[in-house]
């Protein structure tokens, strides 16, 4: 299986790119009641809420993995102009979306 290059830039130095189209990957995550109780207590004293940081990192990784899988499915070598966005889908749950432009690349 070939590696899919993912970059936030619009171009890849030394390569010509041919656009295939936009690809997405997403996941929806909900808060865990135990983590919520701890987060409430932590908010009283301040500081990072490690459980949520970990949850969001895992969600970003899953969304990115799904975007790369979609790029591979459409025959891309790379994804340029990649970005993340998030939205609350319901109280206590958020969607993380990774998106970018799937391209084929060729050395100049």
Question: What is the pLDDT, as a whole number, of residue 1?
Answer: 62
Q: pTM value?
A: 0.84
Coil, strand or helix at 35: helix
Question: What is the pLDDT, as a whole number, of residue 40?
Answer: 55
Q: What are the start-end ranges of the H helices in the chain?
A: 33-45, 50-73
Question: What is the pLDDT, as a whole number, of residue 54?
Answer: 83
Question: What is the pLDDT, as a whole number, of residue 52?
Answer: 77
How far is it, in rounded angstroms, from Cα 62 to Cα 44? Answer: 31
Successive 10-residue mean pLDDT values, the chain, 108 residues? 90 96 95 56 62 86 98 98 92 90 97
For 90-94, the CB contacts below 8 A with 24+ separation are 92/30, 92/31, 92/36, 93/28, 93/29, 93/30, 93/31, 94/28, 94/29, 94/59
Question: What is the pLDDT, as a whole number, of residue 51?
Answer: 74
Count helices and strands (H / E) in the chain: 2, 4
């Amino acid at each position: 299986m070939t590696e899919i290059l993912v970059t936030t830039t619009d171009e890849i130095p030394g390569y010509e790119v041919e656009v295939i189209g936009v690809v997405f990957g997403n996941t929806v995550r909900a808060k865990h009641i135990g983590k919520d109780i701890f987060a409430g207590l932590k908010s009283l004293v301040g500081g990072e809420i490690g459980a949520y940081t970990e949850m969001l990192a895992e969600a970003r990784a899953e969304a990115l993995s799904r975007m790369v899988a979609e790029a591979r499915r459409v025959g891309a070598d790379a994804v340029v102009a990649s970005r993340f966005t998030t939205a609350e889908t319901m109280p206590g749950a958020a969607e993380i979306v990774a998106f970018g432009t799937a391209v084929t690349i060729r050395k100049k």
